[in-house]
Amino acid sequence: MAASELHIALAGNPNCGKTTLFNQITGQNGYVGNWPGVTVEKKEAKLSADKSVIITDLPGIYSLSPYSPEERVSRDYLMSGEPDVVIQVIDATNLERNLYLALQVIETGLPVVCALNMADLVEKSGDRIDIRALSDRLGCPVVMISALKNTGLDELINIAKREAASKDGVPEHKFDSAIEDVLDHIEAQLPGSVPQNKRRYYAVKLFERDTDAAKLVNLTKDAADRVEQLIAMCEQDCDDDAESIITGERYAVIAHIMDECVKKAPAKMSTSEKIDRIVTNRILGLPIFLVVMFAVYYLAISTFGTAMTDWVNDNLFGEGFDFLGTACPSIPMVVEGWLTSLGASDLVISLVNDGIVAGVGAVLGFIPQMFVLFILLSFLEDCGYMARVAFVMDRVFRRFGLSGKSFIPMLVSTGCGVPGVLATKTIENEKDRRMTVMTTTFIPCGAKLPIIALLMGALVGDAEATWIAPLFYFLGVIAVIVSGIMLKKTKLFAGRPTPFVMELPSYHFPSLKSWWLHIWERVSAYIKKAFTIIFASTIVVWFLSNFGSYDGAFGFLPAMEGIPEEFTDYSVLAMLSSAIGWIFAPLGFESWQATAMSITGLVAKENVVATASSLLHIADGTETDPNLWSAFAAMFPSMGAIAAFGAFNLLCAPCFAAMGTIRAQMNSGKWTAIALGYECAFAWVVGLIINQLYNLIALGQFGIWTVVAFAFIALILFQLFRPMPKGAWGEDEGVAPAAA
């Protein structure tokens, strides 16, 4: 029943623990991330203990003056009249910074309860916060909690319910008396329709010249002029602009509160700070990150993961295996025996075994590697390391006029490009946001892992531990940086980089639950895809590669009279793929099979491997070749072509799902086309360069495409190293980004 429902909103800075609190009290599994922008939309759920209470988790923000989309989402919801009470979540280890938003939320006149989160860390640090005094100063109840350790939450909810009944909040803090005077005068100009408890809030907003608020209160022309006059006078008196005056006043109030309510423990460097001295060090930060990511991909793809994946592919889907001295058949053997006993025709057996089992099985075979990869990536994310990386990368990016904000979507993209593209919402500068949408899917997502593993096997022989896998990850990072620098120098994307602020949470061992959730979220999505979209794709690929025309007749190729052993060459798939194979000829992989893999890869990246496996099985008849790597490698003329194929497939337009998300984020057909076009073109050029350089250096071949490749290299180098064009930074012409 709507009437008896109670709405509680959770507001707070990014990273203060809102989502952790939300998950604790609602029993949900929302994404707890270590950087701003993870919650970009608000999220609702019922309180576990009382289903009539609805909790809304809002995006983390730093202020109520909307500069970015998530600030708007949060503010609009707070002012919508829906929340009965606001729980202002405050990271108590960062009280001073968090109070800036808290004061503004209290000023809204809504009933507010401040939840001082991370009580566990405060206790450890030895700082003392006087809750009573703080509550008096702020004019609202204050409760110490730990969302992570689940302490103080019942009390918090009880107080929030009680406050909701009280209807109005009464802000206690006051600015300098001269400013308060002006605010009183502005309040007097507000129409009577603005309710008592919101009048001060709107007075402050009008003072800040907030246009949204001005529209909402709908001042008469006279009143608006009078307000502007008051502001202008005050600005002259204070010799500052109105917005800065209010900011200054808020900080003055905060300084006062901190003085009165907080006793800092004698400063000693915490473990986190000690680690950060090294990890975010100007010189060491980047190399450490490279080593860490190298280790992650090396462990996941080249060592542990491979051993398990090989076992699965060779035994479950290959020749069968030996279990405690008993010979066990592999899955295709079991399936074949079973279908034969049912009297299934060769066509059905081939469809099931060579199409579905081979395709879906090849994808499922990579699950062990996925697990290892996401155990490691989720750990780095949950323990707080990735937040440091964003900070380190901001310094690197800024050099080139890019924003560190662009790096967060990329971190998210290591899981999946879809949330990665969504995370670009936090970038308020439209040009930067578009550029990030265009480049973020260069980072290899989970679905590209099988491609990397397959390439590695094909390039160096199976199960050989090598450094190739991490290299493909860095290829993605380099593609992002190179593209960023080149695009930034074009008219379409020129401009100052978005400022990037973020709090660094203290390092901590991840809660096993949230760690597992992160891993399972990715792995289960992968499994689900294998049984849906990949399953469907393998059926289509099987039909397209088994049917075709030979000798003037169309039909099931293997059953045709006198057809050569390589019957798939006459298939519909071969015909379709050969028609566009010429595009890839300069990259060295014009064979129709490679083209077919690339095209099906656009549906879902796992398809590259699924199609490869399926085509190889079909070509071999029902005999299974356990060694996917070498059979795959045999489809290419050279190592250079394999590497070019890999580069192209890792960098070209992402899967359908990610393309759809790009379309939604760009909100424009033209920009979607630019984004996908750029990705494909860039991928093609990289593939061309790799193949042509290999041909030249390793094989001594030189031709027209070698010249084209060098022309592209020259063009890229020129765009990378030419100075930033004049006027690219907006107002002050030709000046590099200030205080980068």
Footprint on this chain of ligand GDP (rule: CB under 6 A) = 12, 14-20, 32-34, 38-39, 60, 117-118, 120-121, 146-149, 505, 508
Q: Considering only 11-19, 94-102, 530-538, 721-729, which stretch makes contact with Mg ion by CB under 5 A?
A: 11-19
The entry of ligand GDP, Mg ion, none that residue 130 binds, CB within 5 to 8 Å by partner kind? none
> CB 96 → ligand GDP: shortest distance, Å?
17
Name the binder of 134 from ligand GDP, Mg ion, none, CB < 5-8 A by kind: none
Cβ closest to ligand GDP, residue 228 vs residue 521: 521
> Residue 152 touches which of Mg ion, ligand GDP, none (CB < 5 to 8 A by kind)?
none
Smallest distance from Mg ion to CB 40, Å:
9
The 10 Å CB-count burial string (b at 16+, else e) for 347-356 is eebbbbbbbb
**DSSP-derived 3-state class of residue 57:** strand
Q: Mark out the alpha helices in 700-735 (DSSP H runs).
A: 704-721
- Interactions with Mg ion, residue window 707-736 (CB under 5 A): none
Minimum separation from the CB atom of position 24 to ligand GDP (A): 9
Contacts 24+ apart (CB under 8 A), 154-159: 154/49, 156/87, 156/113, 156/115, 157/8, 157/25, 157/47, 157/49, 157/50, 157/53, 159/113
Q: Which does 68 bind (CB under 5 to 8 A by kind): ligand GDP, Mg ion, none?
A: none
Closest by Cα among 641, 550, 537 to 594? 641
Residue 108 or 514 with smaller CB distance to Mg ion: 514
Closest separation in Å from C-beta 593 to ligand GDP: 45
* Binding residue count for Mg ion, defined by CB under 5 A: 2
Q: Which is nearer to Mg ion, 19 or 24 (CB)?
A: 19
19 binds Mg ion (CB under 5 A): yes
Closest contact distance (angstroms) between CB of 38 and ligand GDP is: 6
**Per-residue CA distances from 697 to 327, 647, 701 (Å):** 48, 18, 8
Helix (H) or strand (E) holding 87: strand 85-91
Residue nearest to Mg ion (CB): 19
Looking at beta carbons only, is 318 or 505 nearer to ligand GDP? 505
Do 526 and 340 contact (CB within 8 A), yes or no?
no
Residue 598, contacted partner among Mg ion, ligand GDP, none, CB below 5-8 A by kind: none
Q: Cα dist. 391→32, 70, 280, 299, 397 in Å?
A: 19, 20, 7, 25, 10
Contact string 25-64 vs Mg ion (x = CB under 5 A): --------------x-------------------------
Closer CB to ligand GDP, 125 or 197, in the complex = 125
Cα–Cα distance measured from residue 114 to residue 21, given in angstroms and rounded to the nearest whole number: 13
The residue among 276 and 314 lying less far from ligand GDP, judged by its C-beta, is: 276
Element containing residue 730 per DSSP (H, E)? none
Is residue 159 within 8 Å of residue 279, measured between CB atoms? no
Give 38 or 299: the residue with its C-beta nearer to ligand GDP: 38
> Is the Cα dihedral 547, 553, 558, 563 positive or negative?
negative
> Least distance (Å) from ligand GDP to the CB of residue 18?
4
Q: Which is nearer to ligand GDP, 17 or 415 (CB)?
A: 17
CB of 94 to Mg ion, least distance (A): 16
15 binds, among Mg ion, ligand GDP, none (CB under 5 to 8 A by kind): ligand GDP
- State in angstroms the smallest separation of the CB of 377 from ligand GDP: 15
Report the distance separating Cα 203 and Cα 83, nearest Å: 21
Q: Which is nearer to ligand GDP, 38 or 435 (CB)?
A: 38
DSSP, res 174: -
Of the pair 61, 300, the CB lying nearest Mg ion is at: 61
Q: How far is the CB of 545 from ligand GDP (least distance, A)?
A: 47
Q: Which does 654 bind (CB under 5 to 8 A by kind): ligand GDP, Mg ion, none?
A: none
- Yes or no: say if 118 and 105 are a contact pair by the CB < 8 Å rule: no
Measured on CA atoms in the order 713, 718, 721, 726, is the torsion positive or negative?
Answer: negative
> Closest Cα to residue 74, out of 82, 64, 83, 84?
64
User: Which pair of structure tokens corresponds to residue 1?
Assistant: 């029943």
- Distance in angstroms (rounded) separating the CA atoms of residues 481 and 483: 5
- Smallest distance from ligand GDP to CB 511, Å: 6
Q: Tell me whether residue 17 or residue 457 sits nearer to ligand GDP (CB atom).
A: 17
| Other residues' Cβ atoms within 10 Å of the Cβ of residue 44 | 13
**Looking up tokens 């079991």, which residue turns up?**
334
570-575 long-range contacts, Cβ below 8 Å, gap at least 24? 571/544, 571/545, 571/546, 571/547, 572/544, 572/545, 572/547, 572/548, 573/541, 573/544, 573/545, 573/548, 574/545, 574/548, 575/548
Phi, psi dihedrals of residue 29, rounded to the nearest 5°? -120, 50
Distance in Å, CB of 445 to Mg ion, minimum: 22
Choosing among Mg ion, ligand GDP, none, which partner's interface includes residue 608 (Cβ < 5 to 8 Å by kind)? none
| Residue whose CB is less far from Mg ion, 109 or 415 | 415
In whole angstroms, the minimum distance from the beta carbon of 13 to ligand GDP comes to: 7
Partner from ligand GDP, Mg ion, none contacting 146, C-beta within 5 to 8 A by type: ligand GDP
For the chain, how are helix, strand and coil distributed in percent, rounded to 5? 65, 10, 30
Interface residue list for Mg ion (CB under 5 A)? 19, 39
